[in-house]
Every structure is written in C-alpha cells, then in structure tokens.
Chain A
Amino acid sequence: MNISKLPLAHGKASVIFCRENGANSQKPQGWYVGIKPARGAGLGFEHMLGAAQSGGVLQLQIFDTSGAETAYDVTADYSSATITSPVGELKIAIDAPVNALRIEGNVPSLRLFKQAAAGMGSGSTLNLPDGAELNSGGRIVLKVLTGKHTFDDTWLIKQWSSVPADLRVTARNGKISLAMFSLGDYAAVPEITRSIADCAADSQADFTAFKGKLSEPIDETEAYSVWAFGTDDPFVFADAELALETALAHAKSSARKRPAYAAAVSALYVSGKLSAAGADKKRELISVIRNQLNWWNTYRFDAASRRYFYAYAGEYGGAPSGDSSPKYDTELHSLISALDSVCANLETEVR
C-alpha cells in the first residue's frame, strides 16, 4: 500500500498513521500519528477547549544512541506499517477494539511531538506516570508500555494552553512499546491485552471480511479506502444492508438540494438490493426521502405551471447570482418522480 497517499487506518477505529505533506504550516512534512478527519462543524469553543484534532496530530522522530535524529523509511500493507532505520525498526498496527495505535520496536528512542507553538486555547496536557494525555477538542492518551518517558506539561497561563506536546521515549532493555488512544473525555483507559502481531492480523481479517461485502470487481486500494474511511457510493457494496446504509447517508446529506442521489437509489431498487435489505432500514430510507419530497412539494412547486423549481443556486450546485426568479428544471421533476416511485414501491414492501 502506498502509505504516503492513504493513511494506515481501520474501519472501526479513529486512530491513523499518516504522512503530512507540509501544506499545513503547523504540520511540517513528515510522518504522524493522528485521528481521522472529523465530520461536522464545531460550536466555536476552540478558543477555550482547543480545536478538535484531525489528520496528523503528533510527528514521529527517531533518534540514535547519541540522541541524533535519524531518517527512516516507511512501508505498509493494509494491516500494518513498518518503519526501518539504521538504528532499528518499529512496527505500527491498529488495536481497533480499544481504538489505539500501537507502536513497538527496538529503536533507541523516539519522540512524538507537535511542531507548532502553542496558540491561544490549544488545550491542556497532563504528564501521567505511564505516559501523557492531550486534551484539545478531544482526548488523546499516550501510554508507554515499555520504555522510559519524559513529557513537559508546562501550562502557559496567559495563553490558556500547555506547551506543545512533546513525548520522548527511551528504550528499556532495547525495546520500546507504546499505544496512542483516542478516547471520550471520561472514558477509562483500556488495558492493552493483545500483541501487535495479533492487532495486524485482526485488521487484515476484518478487511478481508469487508471485501466480501463489496461488488466485484474492485481495486484493492479502493476497497481499503472504503473499509477504512467510508464512501458515498452505494454501488460499491454487494451487501444490501451496506448499500442501503450508504444510500441513506447520501439521502440525509441532500436535504434542500438537488436530489442527485435519486438515480443511485432508483438503480439500487432495480438491482433488488433495496428490497433485500431489512424492513426497518427501508422504512428509515422512506421516511428521509418522503420528508424531502414533502419539502419540494410544499416550498418548491409552482402550482400554476405545475413545475418544480430552485430558489437558490446553492440548491443545484450553481454559483449565487443576483437573479431572484425561480429556476425551473425538468430534470428536477424526473429526479423527484423517480424518488416518489421508489418510495411507493418500498412502502408496498414494508406494509
């Protein structure tokens, strides 16, 4: 797997190992432990709670026995990554049941740190007996399983922030092992019970099982991306439930917009996949679509000319302009009719 392009990730965990390309000035080019990008908007608490962590969070450095930084290479398959350096190796895998990124190897020392100077409200850190905790719009716990660590938890009173996180781990008896957890604010830190090899094997098994639910043929890398990060395309799935789930997610995100998903939903119905899904999910899909159809019928239907229209360019993906008149669109009528037809058929099935 080209890990420069796609992070090491897992469909059932939020932790990742990824490469940042330096486009973000606060994240110089390099390899990072991190969190899958968050979805949804924040509430504007960032100045107090710190911005939510997303993408690469802490950069990884490796050092030789004299303390000099050492370059390293990273290779990966879909279940783990291997770091190779002149001073030793590290293996990285994801322990999905406890949402932890596992790092283990025989390098003399390593460092996980934030480059950026603490900004206003970057959150607080804690130096724990066995690692460190970062609280910034979310909670990351770094647990050192093997090795000796140092961590600076200095609090900068006037900046409402701790100094940038900087965990340094030195090998004990030639070994280093640590775990990075992404946890709820008050969740207990889980115990680590599995070997890193078992974690990698489990990831591979989960990915393989997931591939069985996909339509044939599909590129391995694309399959991995769908497994690890999700997709908007319901046709990727041979599995009816997954196909409907994806169609449902697409429908939910299409409120007050041109229902482009209508074609996909119609095709899914024709393929039999919607009918093969469970009744509860079908009812949920019907409910979402009917709400949207009601909106079109109530607020975007010209009774005089019996045509649907858009009020704003944003409703059809256009560029806003000074034109305040309704925009009629015959294709819109087709999309709405298609959805109405699918709903009517599904309603018959779930009756």
Chain B
Amino acid sequence: MSVKFGNGQKFDLIQAPYGRHGSYFYIYEDYNLPILRLSGFKTDNAMQGGMFNFDIKLLQRAPYTQLPREVRYRYTADEGSVRFQQYGEAAGWGEIVLTDKGHLRIRGNAPIEVSLRARNAAPEAAAAICEGVFARDAGKFEANFGRFGKMFFEAIRGSVTWESVFDNGVCKSFKAILNPTDDTRELDVGIHEYDADTEFEGYPNYEDFDALIAANKADFENFKKNYPTAVPSEYAETAEYAKWLIWSHRVKPGGYYVTPMILMHLQWLTAAASWQQSYNAMAQQANPQEAWRQICSLFEHQDPATGQLPGMLFYSGGAGIQAPFQGFALDWIIKRCGDDFLTAEECTRMYPKFAKWVNFWTELKTAGRGDDVIYAKSPHDSGWDDASIFADGFPASNPDILAFLVVLMEMTALLARKAGNSAVADEFDKRSKRLLQTITDEFWDDESGQFVTKKFASQPVKSLSLATLQPIMLGKRLPQSIIDKVAANLTKEGEWLTPIGLASESLKSPKLGLAHQFTLGRVIAPQNMILTVGLFTAGKEAEARLIAERYLNNIRDKGMILGFSPIDKYPDNHESQAGEWIDLDLPPIASDPWPWSTWTANCFLTMASLM
C-alpha cells in the first residue's frame, strides 16, 4: 500500500509537510497560495519566524514575448516523489525526489524557479537571510543563507542560474532558475544543503532519478516492517499514513543526533522529544529490537554527572527535561512481544543508565522526605505544560510522574536481573513497590476517584485534569478498587470522555482552555494512548477499546492533528468564558489549524493495536 497526496485530497500537503527519512529538506503546500514550498528543519523552527522558505514555481514561456511566466499547477505525491503538473493543455511538469544524502533532485520539462520568501517577514525582508552567492565554477553555484546554512545548485541536465538583488547589504530577492535543455527540454538539477560552517565537497556520481524514487519506496516499505500488519480495516488507510508520517520525520545521525530519532514536527517544534522516542517505540511491536533501540536513543545523551536525559533534541543541541517515560514504554513492549530481545549484553549495558536516570529524579529532584517522592519545579517535568494539576504552583509532587518512576524502577530491576546483578535488581524492585504504596496511600483520593497532586508533597491541589487519572498506567499493579474507580471515571460521558476521546481536562471544569492551550481540555494523543494502554493492562479491555475507538475514528476522519477541541463553546460554568465560542487562529503553515504531528501518528498506531 502507498500513501497518496494531492491538492484537495484527504492527505494534502497543507496539513502535514512532505518529508523523507534522512532528508533535512521538506516540502509543503502554501496555506494561502496554490504553490509548493521548500524548507529545511535543521535551523528553521517555525516558531522562530520561518525565514528559510522557498517558493517552487513552474514557469512557461509566454507566447509572443518569450519571457517566462509563472503558471498554476496541481501536485500529486507518494513516498517516492512529488510531481507537479501544469493546469490546462500545456504539458509543463516538474518532479522532486528527496534523498537521505543531503540533497534533493528536481527534474522536469519546463523552467522551474526556486525563490526565497520568508513566511512571516514583511515583503521587503522576505529574502534577508541570503548573504550572497559564490560561483566558483561555471554552471553551478553556492548560495549562503547565514546561520540557516548553504545550498549548492548543480545541473545534471539543463542549466541552473540565479538572480539576486541586494540593497545596502540586505538581500531583497534571491531566486534560482532551473532551465531545461533547448533541444530535448530536459531538466535535472541537484540541490544540496549543508551547515553554515561546512563546505560542499562535490557529488561526482548522481544516481538515476527513478532509482532514487524506488529507493525511497523501498526505504518506506522496510520501515513499515516495524509495525504489526494486522489493523482493523476501517483504520488501514490511516495507519498507512501514520507510518508514512513517522518515517518522513525520522532523522538520520547528524548534528546532535547520534542515532535515528523521530521528530515531533518538521515545521513547528523541530525536535526529537525525549518521551516521544518512547511512545514511538510503543507502536513498533513487530520489531522489538528497533523499539528497544528507540527507547535507548535518549541515553546516548545522558548527562554522565547527573544522569539527566535531555527533554528536547534539536539538530544543534539538546536541553530541558521530560517525564521518565522509558520504563512504561519498555514494559509495554515486553507485554506485547516478550523479552527475548533483551540480551544479557544489552541489559548489562543499559541497567546502569536506567538506574542513573531513576536516581536523577529521586536525588536531584527529591522532595526531601527521605523517600523517592519527587518535586516538579515546572510543568515540563511532567509533559503537561498547562495542566490544572499545577494550579497552585511549585514545587509539586504529582502522581503521574511518580507512576512513571514506579515502572522505570521496575524495569531497571528487570534489566539488572537479566544482567546478573541481583543486588541492584532487588534494590530497585523494593523501591518500586515502596513508591507504588506511597502513591496509593498518600496520592489517591477515594472519594473523587482521582489521584491528587500535592504542593510541597503535602497540600492537595484541586484539579479536574486528566492527569489525575493517568496513574492507571500502572495497570494491575494498582488495587482493583482503584482500577474500578478510575475506569468508571474515564467512561462517564460528559466529564473526561467525549465523542472523540478523552479530554485533557474534564468538560465540567471551570478552567477549560481549548483554543491555545495544550492540556487544559483538548483531546491529545499521548494522554489517550497512556490511559487506554493503562486500562488495557489493568484488565479493563472493553473500556480501553471504547475510548480508543472514539479517538481512532476522529483521527481517521479529521487527520493526525496535535489536539482537538471536543466542544464548540465553553460551558456555562466556565470561570471566565462561559458560553463563548472557541475560536482558533489560522497559522499560514502546514496545520489544520493545529499542526499535524507524529505524536498523534504513533499513538494512533499503538491504540489501533488494542482493537
């Protein structure tokens, strides 16, 4: 099966950009104009202005004047290439193939213009990042875009020229024009991208264009083998698209990345997020070795002194922190695939790193009680950036992080035991059980059926966040009475359960935030995945499937969007916006209006595997 894209199709390129595993380039359809755009994720974070963006224009020679003019085109694409075709009787076309070798190729039969136009800048500053062009050899040239890197244009067939206008040291326009040969009307150009502080060493042996297309298709087919093929038929097409989305966001080693990782977005947050590598792994149930590699990928960047794993990894570096998801992901893979993939050698390699990650939390983020209860000083520690569990501020001890630690300790013990270190294994087993007891003794409110965050580990925070039910991820480790109450809460209509899945804040909460907030009500992928997996492993399979079906149906119908508002208007009990419409901004990049994301794709696949 192949994923098909095209203008106005279910999967167009307004909604999620077009990429390729191992390519730093990506292509998307402009939100306002009927053209494709080219960009790269290494340095151009959409949240930083969108300076490194190019229009892709198809030109035709106007009759009588013979001057080239821009023509309208339609596009189609699959994982192999993107093709664009002139409307009407004239037969101008172009085709772009992305590669994992630092360049893309464009071929066609008509002139093609690649012109710099920043997304957010005023027109007079739209090309400001161009710092010059250097043409050392005839027929090829390098364009310098400052900190955004360089591009080298080389014609294999046809020719490539450029035009630029500078005024007082500022570039006003830059365009590369790719021209077909006069006799055969063939054009084939390589466009290479590389870092600002590197040089192009040449590319002597350009591959056959069609071979590159075939290689892309083969690479995607190979990647799909990581995922179970059995998917309910109603989700088959969406599952295929989800796999493509993940594959197209997979980066190769380079820059700060030392092993392949999956970016959250190509345009918005162009980072490999720590916990997302784990939930990407959870979907890869047909290849537990790859899932394990993905889980372990963050440990390549573990701080040797503190044990911290960085929360976000960009091409240029990493920082921050996110919840300790790795144990939960490993536990899931073992439950689905067995643990044969955990060789003694791998366990020996990894249990000290897992232990160090546990101890980072329990020693450097300790609540100072003499046990393993931690303090979060920021919502980003938990991943729920604007959740109401932090309504009373910091430091907060929130049981969702504690639950992750319980499983992380248990998995550390498992790894240590398989490595032959029973002393370490016993220690972490004991700590895991003790922390679990602490959660149920101190952080569970039986009356409300919720887990409770506590400021200073002692002052309960009133909250209707979905995060208060997240420790269901502990599955059968929890007492049955708690499992039953959480399951009941999660399946009560009109509270957290909505027609499209679980809302991150109860619909009865006066604090709902559904326009620009992440986890204050929107139905988001990771929480739905964590909780349905938790219910499933707790023996509440029917409840898990009920919720998963609603979530999966919505994604199938609406797309791989970061999060959805489950309602159109704020309820009457809202603290500040009672009865108001929930209006959303329309950003001019691939989005809908919230962007499409791999975190939805991998969570979709995990939840589909429950059905």
Within 8 A of B (CB), among A112-142: 123-127, 133, 135
Of the candidates A155, A320, A326, the one whose C-beta lies within 8 Å of that of B166 is A320
Q: Are A45 and B166 in contact (CB under 8 A)?
A: no
How many Å from the CB of A134 to the closest CB on chain B? 10
Q: Are B520 and A158 in contact (CB under 8 A)?
A: yes
Comparing A63-71, A242-250, A306-314, the segment that makes contact with chain B is A306-314
Task: Using A45-B312, A48-B380 as known contacts, say yes or no to A299 and B317 having CB atoms under 8 A apart.
Answer: no
Within 8 A of A (CB), among B301-344: 306, 308, 312, 314, 316-320
Of the candidates A135, A154, A255, A326, the one whose C-beta lies within 8 Å of that of B377 is A135
Task: Using A48-B380, A322-B166 as known contacts, say yes or no to A157 and B511 having CB atoms under 8 A apart.
Answer: yes
Closest residue of chain B to A163 (Cβ to Cβ) is B393
Task: Using A157-B391, A160-B379 as known contacts, say yes or no to A43 and B316 having CB atoms under 8 A apart.
Answer: yes
Interface residues on A, range: 35 or more
Closest residue of chain A to B134 (Cβ to Cβ) is A311
Whether A305 sits at the interface, judged by CB under 8 Å, is no
Whether A97 sits at the interface, judged by CB under 8 Å, is no
Whether B392 sits at the interface, judged by CB under 8 Å, is yes
- Chain B interface, number of residues (Cβ within 8 angstroms): 54
Closest residue of chain B to A302 (Cβ to Cβ) is B136
Whether B170 sits at the interface, judged by CB under 8 Å, is yes
Q: Are B197 and A126 in contact (CB under 8 A)?
A: no
How many Å from the CB of B366 to the closest CB on chain A? 10
Q: Are A324 and B135 in contact (CB under 8 A)?
A: yes
Q: Are A319 and B168 in contact (CB under 8 A)?
A: yes
**Chain A positions within 8 Å of B162 at CB level:** 324
Q: Are B377 and A44 in contact (CB under 8 A)?
A: no
Q: Are B136 and A311 in contact (CB under 8 A)?
A: yes
For the complex, give the distance between the alpha carbons of A188 and B481 in Å. 41
Whether A203 sits at the interface, judged by CB under 8 Å, is no
A44, A318, A325, most chain B CB atoms within 10 A: A44
Whether B386 sits at the interface, judged by CB under 8 Å, is yes
**Chain A positions within 8 Å of B205 at CB level:** none
Q: Are A155 and B385 in contact (CB under 8 A)?
A: no
Q: Are A157 and B386 in contact (CB under 8 A)?
A: yes
Of the candidates B142, B365, B393, B516, the one whose C-beta lies within 8 Å of that of A155 is B393
Q: Are A126 and B136 in contact (CB under 8 A)?
A: no
Closest residue of chain A to B385 (Cβ to Cβ) is A160
Q: Are A324 and B520 in contact (CB under 8 A)?
A: no
Task: Using A43-B319, A135-B378, A320-B166 as known contacts, say yes or no to A155 and B394 having CB atoms under 8 A apart.
Answer: yes
Whether B449 sits at the interface, judged by CB under 8 Å, is no
**Chain A positions within 8 Å of B380 at CB level:** 48-49
For the complex, give the distance between the alpha carbons of A155 and B388 in Å. 10
For the complex, give the distance between the alpha carbons of A16 and B320 in Å. 26
Q: Are B197 and A44 in contact (CB under 8 A)?
A: no
**Chain B positions within 8 Å of A126 at CB level:** 377, 393-395
For the complex, give the distance between the alpha carbons of A154 and B393 in Å. 6
Whether B169 sits at the interface, judged by CB under 8 Å, is yes
Chain A to chain B: the 5 pairs with minimum beta-carbon distance, closest first: A319-B169, A155-B393, A186-B364, A311-B134, A324-B133
Given contacts A157-B391, A311-B132, 11 further A-B contacts (CB under 8 A): A43-B316, A43-B317, A44-B48, A45-B312, A45-B319, A155-B390, A158-B516, A162-B393, A186-B308, A312-B131, A320-B170
Q: Give A residues with C-beta under 8 Å from B.
A: 43-45, 47-49, 123-127, 133, 135, 153-155, 157-158, 160, 162, 186, 255-256, 295, 298-299, 311-314, 318-326
